[in-house]
């Protein structure tokens, strides 16, 4: 019986089955929905982690979600700047980008990073299409602030083009370079781009994968992770100057997306293995969820008010269907 599988009941088997079962209402709820996933440079720690994150996205796609990836690559751009002896300078989380530096941003974001992510997905079949935001008017921008030079403010998103890719069952992988009405290229902060794209697509969710577990009330206190908040609460934190560095554009992007009608904006740790699956498919989730006060249904916020949906499912499938219908 060398090849027989151990079919003995065990606690581990029971827990695994329960966990798989817990995903059912979430998969049902997310099937057919557009989910914009922003993959930040801070979470692109190494090739293995990057490939694992892309594999999780393929799994979500196979489960019936319609993922759109918007990626950054700030760390890779910093490395390239240092190679070319260019100064790295940020203002409110946005990189000062001279026309010369813009050429490097295009090479790194639209070339290296984009192609690596596309290749990682396409190991599982030809699902991914690399898109530079400057293609087909995907992102049109104007100057944000003359001091930041080639940093853009998004004027429009070509929703039709992105939707055609999604409808064709592809996963668009978008590099955040925009075309300007002046004919030049613009560097767009990837958080801001993800928020704008999610809003324009009326996505169900936008998820930011970064290198921290979520938003902390006080970044120096690791026990102060916020599991859910409204956009008004989030705006208050920004107005009071409680947030700094890369979290500023991320929160602004969350607020813009939710204002545009996105149901939930999530911030999670992309360096934690399978955090995307845990956040999207389990009751407890792992990060921070931002929502409008009108859609703050208690059963979709973290921590979940029910101990586990799975336990309820076993007890009463009908009640779960009712909760699902409400969301
Ligand atoms: N209150 C806060 N909670 C969480 N992170 C914060 C907070 N304030 C500032 N940060 C910083 O924001 C960073 C994430 O932004 P960033 O480095 O730009 O990542 P990404 O490449 O994913 O966009 C965190 O690593 C952290 O240093
Ligand atoms: C204007 C601006 O700041 N653009 C960003 C674009 C990349 C990015 O946003 O990357 P992360 O998501 O890794 O931070 C930059 O040059 O770094």
- For residues 272-292, average pLDDT: 92
Question: Domain for residue 44, yes or no?
Answer: yes
* Coil vs helix vs strand at 43: helix
For the beta carbon of residue 312, count every other beta carbon within 10 angstroms.
17
214 lines ligand 2 (CB under 6 A): no
149 lines ligand 2 (CB under 6 A): no
pLDDT for residue 163? 98
> pTM of the predicted model, to two decimals?
0.89
Closest ligand to the CA of 271? 1
Interface pTM (ipTM) of the complex? Answer: 0.98
66 known ligand binder = no
Question: Domain for residue 103, yes or no?
Answer: yes
Distance 163 CA to ligand 1 centre (A): 30
Take residue 168 and report the two structure tokens written for it.
Answer: 């064709």
First-to-final CA distance of the chain: 49
Percent of the chain with pLDDT over 70: 87
pLDDT for residue 166? 98
User: Does position 319 have pLDDT exceeding 70, yes or no?
Assistant: no
The pLDDT confidence band at residue 318, using thresholds 50, 70 and 90, is very low
Work out which ligand 1 atom sits closest to the CA atom of 41. Answer: 21
Mean pLDDT is lowest, of 161-170, 245-254, 270-279, 291-300, for 291-300
Question: Domain for residue 79, yes or no?
Answer: yes
Distance 246 CA to ligand 1 centre (A): 5
- What are the pocket residues of ligand 1 if the criterion is a CB atom closer than 6 Å to any ligand atom? 40-43, 72, 74, 191, 210-212, 215-216, 219, 243-247
Question: Domain for residue 9, yes or no?
Answer: no
Question: Domain for residue 162, yes or no?
Answer: yes
Total domain count, the chain: 1
- For residues 314-321, average pLDDT: 46
Structural domain containing residue 288? 28-326
Distance 237 CA to ligand 2 centre (A): 22
Q: To 10 degrees, what angle do helices 190-201 and 247-259 make?
A: 10
Take residue 103 and report the two structure tokens written for it.
Answer: 């050429």
Closest ligand to the CA of 43? 1
Question: Domain for residue 18, yes or no?
Answer: no
Question: Domain for residue 7, yes or no?
Answer: no
Q: Which residues contact 126 (CB under 8 A, 6 or more apart)?
A: none
Distance 212 CA to ligand 1 centre (A): 7
pLDDT digits (tens, 9 = 90+) for 78-125: 999 999 999 999 998 899 999 999 999 999 999 999 999 999 999 999
* Coil vs helix vs strand at 165: helix
pLDDT for residue 7? 61
The pLDDT confidence band at residue 3, using thresholds 50, 70 and 90, is low
Question: Domain for residue 12, yes or no?
Answer: no
Distance 193 CA to ligand 2 centre (A): 10
Closest ligand to the CA of 114? 2
195 lines ligand 2 (CB under 6 A): no
Q: Which residues contact 303 (CB under 8 A, 6 or more apart)?
A: 227, 284, 285
pLDDT digits (tens, 9 = 90+) for 149-186: 999 999 999 999 999 999 999 999 999 999 999 999 99
Reference 41, options 94, 4, 3, 78; nearest CA is 78
Burial 196-217 (b: 16+ CB within 10 A, else e): bbbbbbebbbbbbbbbbbbbbe
Q: Compute the half-sphere exposure of residue 160: CA atoms within 13 Å on the CB side of its CA.
A: 2
Closest ligand to the CA of 210? 1
74 lines ligand 2 (CB under 6 A): yes
pLDDT for residue 13? 83
Please give the torsion angle defined by the CA atoms of residues 98, 41, 81 and 118, in that order, rounded to the nearest 10 degrees: -90
Cα gap 300→282, rounded to integer Å: 11
- For residues 241-260, average pLDDT: 93
CATH code for the domain in which residue 165 is found: 3.40.1160.10
The pLDDT confidence band at residue 313, using thresholds 50, 70 and 90, is very low
249 lines ligand 2 (CB under 6 A): no
- For residues 301-305, average pLDDT: 39
95 known ligand binder = yes
Beta pairing class for 185-187 and 228-230: unpaired
């Amino acid at each position: 019986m060398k090849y027989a599988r151990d079919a003995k009941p065990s606690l581990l088997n029971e827990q695994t089955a329960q966990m798989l079962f817990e995903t059912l209402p979430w998969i049902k709820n997310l099937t057919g929905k557009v989910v914009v996933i922003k993959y930040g440079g801070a979470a692109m720690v190494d090739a293995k982690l990057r490939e694992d994150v892309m594999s999780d996205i393929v799994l979500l796609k196979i489960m019936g979600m319609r993922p759109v990836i918007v990626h950054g690559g700030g760390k890779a751009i910093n490395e390239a700047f240092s190679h070319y002896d260019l100064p790295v300078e940020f203002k409110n989380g946005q990189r000062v980008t001279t026309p010369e530096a813009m050429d490097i941003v295009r090479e790194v974001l639209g070339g290296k990073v984009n192609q690596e992510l596309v290749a990682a997905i396409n190991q599982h079949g030809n699902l991914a299409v690399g898109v530079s935001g400057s293609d087909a008017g995907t992102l049109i921008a104007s100057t944000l602030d003359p001091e930041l030079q080639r940093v853009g403010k998004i004027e429009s998103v070509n929703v039709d083009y992105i939707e055609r890719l999604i409808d064709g069952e592809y996963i668009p992988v978008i590099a955040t370079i925009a075309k300007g009405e002046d004919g030049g290229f613009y560097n767009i902060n990837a958080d801001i781009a993800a928020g704008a794209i999610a809003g324009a697509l009326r996505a169900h969710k936008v998820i930011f994968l970064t290198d921290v577990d979520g938003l902390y009330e006080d970044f120096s206190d690791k026990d102060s992770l916020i599991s859910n908040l409204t956009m008004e609460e989030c705006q208050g934190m920004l107005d009071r100057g409680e947030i700094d560095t890369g979290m500023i554009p991320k929160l602004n992007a969350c607020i813009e997306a939710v204002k545009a009608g996105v149901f939930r904006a999530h911030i999670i740790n992309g360096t934690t293995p399978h955090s995307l699956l845990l956040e999207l498919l389990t009751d407890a989730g792992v990060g921070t969820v931002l929502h409008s006060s009108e859609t703050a249904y208690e059963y979709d916020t973290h921590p979940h008010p029910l101990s586990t949906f799975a336990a309820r499912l076993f007890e009463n499938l009908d009640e779960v269907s009712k909760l699902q219908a409400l969301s």
